[in-house]
Structure 1
Amino acid sequence: MRRAGKYRHRITLRVKETVRLPLGGDRIEWVDWKPDVPAEVVPLSGREFTAATAEHGQVTARMEIPYFPGVENTMSVLFDGQPYAIRAVLPDPTARQHLTLMVDAGLSDG
């Protein structure tokens, strides 16, 4: 059972898409895949940061969201106007109730 107010933040899950340019050629850009996802966003403490960085590469926060099929570490998150790269998607070990996203604030546009 979820605690009331746990998912007090809202994030947007995004995917890379190839967009055809009007004058020819293509451009890769991030597009919204699932907007307005309830989430708990937690910046990592020093100890958590060190442990997560050792396991998943550069990680600056963790975001817990309700379970959605299809979430992958090739996606990104938009939270409070800031893009985040998803470094790892960790499933709920007991059931399909939530996902934990290990994220890094250093997202590039390409």
Structure 2
Amino acid sequence: MKTRPEGAASCRGGHVRVNDRPAKPSTVVVPGDEVRIRVAGTTRVVEVTQTIRKRVGAGVAATCLIDRTPKPPPEVVVPVAKRERGAGRPTKRERRVLDQFRNQ
């Protein structure tokens, strides 16, 4: 989370889980805990390696966890029919072929 209020709102909304249990903003985490955060439609999974007693910068905080988020599946690229430049509008026969291609 970027800010404390955003993190608290995510906890209240049920988007944060610690060891597969819903988390409150005041939930205490210890080394070895697994935290799952749902952000923008993706689930991020991190493991806590050490706790922090006071607020620190993002660089220091990043060293206190291990990111175990699974990689997203590769995006499928759909081929796009291309026409040569200056070929003009497709003929009726070419439009039928394009429609058959799109409906498959």
TM-score by length of 1: 0.30
Larger radius of gyration: 2
Q: Give the TM-score normalised by structure 2.
A: 0.31
Higher strand residue share:
1
**Structure with more contact order per residue of length (Cα contacts < 8 Å, sep ≥ 6):** 1
User: Which one has a larger percent helix, Structure 1 or Structure 2?
Assistant: 2
